[in-house]
Structure formats: structure tokens, C-alpha cells
Amino acid sequence: MEYKYARRMSEIKASEIRELLKLTEKPEVISFAGGLPAPELFPIEEIRAVNNYVLDRCGEQALQYTTTEGWQPLRKWIAERMNTQLGTSFCDENIMITHGSQQALDLSGKVFLDEGDVVLCESPTYLAAISAFKAYGCRFVEIDTDDEGMIPASLEKALKEYPAAKLIYIIPNFQNPTGKTWSLERRKQAAELSAKYRVAVIEDNPYGELRYEGDFLPSVKSFDRSGSVICTGTFSKIFCPGYRIGWIAGDAEVIRKYVLVKQGADLQCNTIAQIVISAYLEQYDIDAHIDKIREVYRRRRDTAIEAITRYFPSDTLFTRPEGGLFLWVELNEAINTTELLERCIAENVAFVPGYSFFPNKCRLNTLRINFSNTPEEKIEEGLARIGHVLKQAGFQ
């Protein structure tokens, strides 16, 4: 049958890149493409113990339906953690558990976006945020972004030019895909502009805990006096992604709206996953666990930086992120990284071409490297392979 799809489906297409990257699932390929954490660091033994503890103590509750808002002790822990780490002042009422922080983005689209509305975003920005918001028929306006974050003058210009703007979407810590971190001053300015123009900010923070050097910075939310900033977070990068537990945090009024749309979307998150994570946080030292992750990822980042310096052409520009999972590479303007990817796949090495991260503009000579999911010796070898392909193509 010829299905009568919704209009949005003409915008939601299978990504060519995703098809290309399916070729990289063979074990001989060194892939810098995904955004996967290192599975060898998952606390499997602890999770096993906590699972048994939860099933023994409250198995019936853990396997039954629960509230849409989510498991109260977990929401309380998240509020307190954010208050300590990010300078917010949340309590459990400000938190709703989501199915990964990806769902927090999808529900943000549902709560705020009508067809034709404008989302202001960094340039480049997170690929799957583009997909999430696009499903609501929005347009994207990319704000000029430098090493300290969105440039306030550009943001203000866009806010004036697009009064239909509904959301400002930002990732201030170790941004995906660039690895860049916003300065303190820019955080303050973003909060001020959001309040002045009454446009909500979605402050996405999946990587904030993974800082390898420098000081932790307060969130944009910590400078928010009007309630316009809404935050997301996730256990995917500090615990494990398989449980799909993230959250959305904001003023109680707006969180009540998220609860209403989540009821229609999927009723609630996995009950046992929420209780297991909550019990883990009670019984184990998550800070010690995060320290372990930081140490491994810091070494992997350093290895990636050294290898790019050594093997890539001398005119290569790249970021040196203070944390997170990614670094961003800008090659000679003559290079199209999608063509480069095809050649690299033939040499059993993969990355994501940068163009996927620009909703409108196109920077064909950029690419994203994930360093969290590959052991150091393979990082060295994989980047050397890319360097070799570049050299063969005549770039030194």
C-alpha cells in the first residue's frame, strides 16, 4: 500500500552516513564514528549485586508500573547532584526522568515547537537534536559560535530577527561534535538574552561530569533568574547507556507540561532501571567510578591529540577538549570528508563527516573523532591510517 505519511516524514530521511557507517561494524575496522562509552568500564559486578538486592527487597514494585515523573529518590539525587555540580537550586519536583536525554530533546520539541517555529542552535550542533526537533517541523538558525560558545551579538541579532524563535539549544560543556566548552561570561550572557527575549534555553549536558582538566563551570541555569532555562542530563556517560535513563530539569510549571506529554508518549520510564540506579548511587561511590572513567578517557584524548599532530597534514586544525568524548578536526578546504570517509572505510577506519552536524550551512572539510570507545594503541593506529589516506590523496 502507498501509505499516507505525515508531512514531516519527507524531512526525516535515512542518513547516507548511517548507511556508510553500517559497513564499519566489522571487527577489523577502527571506528571513531560512534559516541559510545568504553564498555570495559561499566560496573557490571556492582550492577549485578544491586539488581539482586532490588529484586529481593522490592521485586513486585520494581517490575510494576510507576509514576510518569519517575522514581522519587532518584529525582531527589539528581536535583542534589545538579545543585552541587552546576549551581542550580532544584528539588525532586523540578526533575522528570526521561528515556535517555534524547527523549528530553524529543519532548522539548513536543512541548514547545509548532510547524515553522525557529530553533537557534550552535554551529555545528548535535546531530540527533536536529532529528528530534525537525520532527516537529521547525527551522534551524545557526548562531555563529567560536571557542567560547555562541557569540552573544549573533545570538541577539537572531533573537531580534526571528521573533518566532521558540528554543535556544546549547551544549555548553565539551560540546558534541566540537568538544568546545563555553566560557563563564558567555553562560551569563546566554541566560540574560534568553530572559530578555523570553525564549527558552535547552541546556543539554550529557558530558559535563567528564572533565579531564581545568575547573568545573556553573551551568547557564545557575544564572537564570526568569526560569527560562531547562536542563537535560543522563546516566549514559557516567554509568551506562543501556538503561536509557536521563532527565529533564526546570521550573515546576514547565516540568508539569513535560509530564503531560510523556504520559501520551510512553507513560513512564523503565521502573527497575530507575530503582537499580538509585540503589547503586546509595550503595557505591559514583565519584570514584567517574574518576576511573576520567582517567581512561583523558589518556585516550591525549593519545588522539598526539596522533593527529603526528599523522595529519600540517595545516590541520583541531580542538583540544577539556573533557567529553569528541574532538573536531578541520582539514584543508579542498578536502571533502564524505569522500575521505569512503576511502578510509576501505582502509578499515571510520569517523563522522562534519557536514551532518550543520542543519543548514555546510562545512565539507570537517570531521568528528570519538576517542572514548577505542583503546590507546588502536587510536594511534586508526588515526595513522586516516593520515596515510590523506597523504595518498596528496595532503601532507
Kindly identify the residues of this chain, within the stretch 111-150, that bind its own copies according to CB under 8 A.
Answer: 111-115, 117, 128, 131-132, 134-136
Taking contact as CB under 8 A, which single stretch among the options 49-57, 75-83, 84-92, 343-351 is the one that binds its own copies? 49-57
DSSP-based three-state secondary structure for 44: helix
Binding string, residues 174-213; x marks residues near its own copies by CB under 8 A: ---------------------x--xxx-------------
- Residue recorded with cell 505525515: 6
User: CA 35, 175, 9: angle at the middle one, nearest 5?
Assistant: 65
Rounded least distance, CB 16 to its own copies, Å: 13
Residue 279 near its own copies by CB under 8 A? no
Taking contact as CB under 8 A, which single stretch among the options 98-106, 207-215, 302-310, 380-388 is the one that binds its own copies? 98-106
Which position among 84, 89, 226, 309 is part of the footprint of its own copies (CB under 8 A)?
A: 226
Residue 40 near its own copies by CB under 8 A? yes
Stated as kind and residue range, the H or E segment containing 317 is strand 317-318
Which position among 30, 143, 166, 350 is part of the footprint of its own copies (CB under 8 A)?
A: 166
Q: Nearest Cα to 111, choosing from 100, 126, 98, 127?
A: 98
Residue 273 near its own copies by CB under 8 A? yes
Q: Nearest Cα to 244, choosing from 222, 217, 221, 266?
A: 266
User: Which three cell numbers, joined as nine digits, stand for 352?
Assistant: 563522522
Residue 325 near its own copies by CB under 8 A? no
Residue whose CB is less far from its own copies, 182 or 197 = 197
Q: Give the dihedral sign, CA 259/253/140/340.
A: negative
Which position among 84, 89, 263, 396 is part of the footprint of its own copies (CB under 8 A)?
A: 263
Q: Which of residues 285-324 bind its own copies (CB under 8 A)?
A: none
Q: Nearest Cα to 31, choosing from 306, 371, 384?
A: 371
The C-alpha atoms of residue 387 and residue 313 are separated, in whole angstroms, by: 7
Q: Nearest Cα to 215, choosing from 181, 176, 192, 179?
A: 181
DSSP-based three-state secondary structure for 241: helix
Which position among 28, 65, 362, 377 is part of the footprint of its own copies (CB under 8 A)?
A: 65
Residue whose CB is less far from its own copies, 8 or 320 = 8
Residue 2 near its own copies by CB under 8 A? yes
Rounded least distance, CB 78 to its own copies, Å: 18
Residue 89 near its own copies by CB under 8 A? no
Q: Which of residues 232-251 bind its own copies (CB under 8 A)?
A: 240-244, 251
Rg (CA), the chain: 21
Rounded least distance, CB 365 to its own copies, Å: 26
Residue 23 near its own copies by CB under 8 A? no
Residue whose CB is less far from its own copies, 174 or 197 = 197
Residue 269 near its own copies by CB under 8 A? yes
Binding string, residues 66-85; x marks residues near its own copies by CB under 8 A: x-------------------
The C-alpha atoms of residue 338 and residue 316 are separated, in whole angstroms, by: 17
- Residue recorded with cell 532529528: 131
Q: Buried (b) or exposed (e) across 118-148, using 16+ Cβ within 10 A?
A: bbbbbbbbbbebbbbbbbbbbbbbbbebeee
Residue 19 near its own copies by CB under 8 A? no
